[in-house]
Amino acid sequence: MSDIAISIEHLSKSYLVGHNTARAERYTALRDVVSRNARNLVRKTRDMLSGRAIVQGDEVEEFWALKDVSFEVKRGEVLGVIGRNGAGKSTLLKILSRITAPTDGRIKIAGRVASLLEVGTGFHPELSGRENIFLNGAILGMKRIEIQRKFDEIVAFAEVERFLDMPVKRYSSGMYARLAFSVAAHLEPDVLIVDEVLAVGDASFQKKCMGAMRDASTRDGKTVLFVSHNLSAIRTLCTSSLVLSGGEQVFSGPVADGLARYAKLTEISEVHRSLDRTRPCIEGASVDEELASEGHLALRVLFSSPWTLSPVLIGAVIHNEQRMPIFGINTDLDPSNVPISAKSGVAVLKIQNLSLYSGTYTVDIYLGEKNENYDVVESAVTFTFISPSNLTSGLSTDLIGSMRVNGQWRILSK
């Protein structure tokens, strides 16, 4: 028997994106409308006959989510897949989980595959936790007696005994994640695929997940593919790494080397826009992803000016995924900051133990002098933050807002 559990050769995945150019045109002649509709009809007919997806829109752009990715994973290995948002990590896991088909390439997977790609994937919301356990086992090809043998372990690990016969649509995100991970880890897959499971749940649940994945690899000889922005977890758990950037493979090999390569990718990146060199401008920015995965924030901003700014004023506003501002901070309001005058330089903002819930955040950056703003870059940086104590609770709905506060409840009985 070969010791290769997963073999990927020249894997690629493309999507067709439609654009409606008519909406961008203020005035359109009748002949343009007729010719555009004729072209669209011919294109859609050709796509239908060739079996390709029919895409709405006047112009079609081909977008490559993955391009020419090749690697192998041995039995018992834990592969950490690393990359920034949009690198192609989730697309890769969806292809390996047979959720979507590749455009090109060859895939070989030895044995059964269990996937936990996101909270709720693979569960029927109307069914109870008990029913979903048996449903997932059947999907994996297990017999009912095999599932029953593992049933008590699954329930004990997930800690949902009291709510086992309740529809999972009433579970909190933490309960959902605990049960989903427990099912995927205990139903004896040969390959376990996990995407960002540590982003949901409290610290004890995250520790249990790490232990379960480690045991699956070292004790049971299972193969694990693990995607996470928590670089500390990648370093602790994984035996090898794969680094993706823009859909392309940039590194495959030892974890330490993979993390070093990823660190280079996340160094200060240029702001992609035309810069007015006659005014002070923000040239680049970055967030230390490893510190963000440990509950801290380190922001670096590169700036330049045709004249000396006296003093340099730089501000940052953090937004959540809905673009709601969470908080803002600038050099003028920081009592520890010593005002300096400069024509160019790097500004560094550090916040220890940032009180945010786990999630994806963006940073708007401002550059000015005294009472005047010279440059603003919206969404200059996007980063994934991992809270060290990402609390979830009972039967409550998802956590509201983005900030964690250190409040204390006390209930007095009458």
> What's the CATH code of the domain at 107?
3.40.50.300
- Both 218 and 259 in one domain: the answer is yes
Residue pair 349/364 in contact by the 8 Å Cβ criterion: no
- Both 360 and 244 in one domain: the answer is no
Q: How far is residue 143 from each of residues 2, 111, 137, 148, measured CA to CA in Å?
A: 26, 16, 8, 9
- The answer, yes or no, to whether residue 379 has pLDDT greater than 90, is no
Domain final residue, candidates 30, 45, 63: 63
Quick check: is 4 in a domain? no
- Both 230 and 293 in one domain: the answer is no
How many domains does the chain fold into? 3
- Both 180 and 290 in one domain: the answer is no
> Using CA atoms, how far apart are residues 72 and 107, in angstroms rounded to an integer?
10
Query: How do beta strands 240-245 and 248-253 pair?
Result: antiparallel
Quick check: is 1 in a domain? no
Question: Which one of 126-140, 236-250, 256-270, 275-289 scores highest in mean pLDDT?
Answer: 236-250
* Residue 388 or 215, more confident: 215
> Using CA atoms, how far apart are residues 212 and 9, in angstroms rounded to an integer?
29
Among 245, 10, 6, 220, which residue's Cα sits nearest to residue 105?
Answer: 10
Q: What pLDDT does residue 24 have?
A: 43
Tokens of 69: 């990715």
- The answer, yes or no, to whether residue 65 has pLDDT greater than 70, is yes
Quick check: is 368 in a domain? yes
- Both 95 and 214 in one domain: the answer is yes
- Both 103 and 169 in one domain: the answer is yes
Question: In the structure, what pLDDT confidence band is assigned to residue 26 with cuts at 50, 70 and 90?
Answer: very low
Phi, psi of 183 (to 5 degrees): -60, -50
- Both 176 and 283 in one domain: the answer is no
List the single range of 119-123, 147-151, 163-167 with lowest mean pLDDT: 119-123
* Residue 117 or 60, more confident: 117
Q: What percent of the chain has pLDDT over 70?
A: 77
Q: What pLDDT does residue 165 have?
A: 93
> Using CA atoms, how far apart are residues 91 and 235, in angstroms rounded to an integer?
23
Domain final residue, candidates 265, 298, 328: 265
- Could you tell me the residue range of the domain that residue 321 belongs to? 269-385
List the single range of 197-201, 277-281, 339-343 with lowest mean pLDDT: 197-201
> Using CA atoms, how far apart are residues 346 and 336, in angstroms rounded to an integer?
17
- Both 28 and 97 in one domain: the answer is no
- Mean pLDDT confidence for 14-40: 59
> Using CA atoms, how far apart are residues 308 and 369, in angstroms rounded to an integer?
10
- Mean pLDDT confidence for 73-85: 91
Quick check: is 408 in a domain? no
Quick check: is 361 in a domain? yes
> Using CA atoms, how far apart are residues 290 and 77, in angstroms rounded to an integer?
23
- Both 35 and 127 in one domain: the answer is no
Question: In the structure, what pLDDT confidence band is assigned to residue 290 with cuts at 50, 70 and 90?
Answer: confident
- Both 100 and 209 in one domain: the answer is yes
- Both 104 and 181 in one domain: the answer is yes
List the single range of 34-43, 76-85, 98-107, 155-164 with lowest mean pLDDT: 34-43
Query: How do beta strands 223-227 and 191-195 pair?
Result: parallel
Tokens of 12: 């690629």
- Both 56 and 85 in one domain: the answer is no
Quick check: is 257 in a domain? yes
Residue pair 390/201 in contact by the 8 Å Cβ criterion: yes
Quick check: is 403 in a domain? no
Quick check: is 83 in a domain? yes
CATH number assigned to the domain comprising residue 375: 2.70.50.60
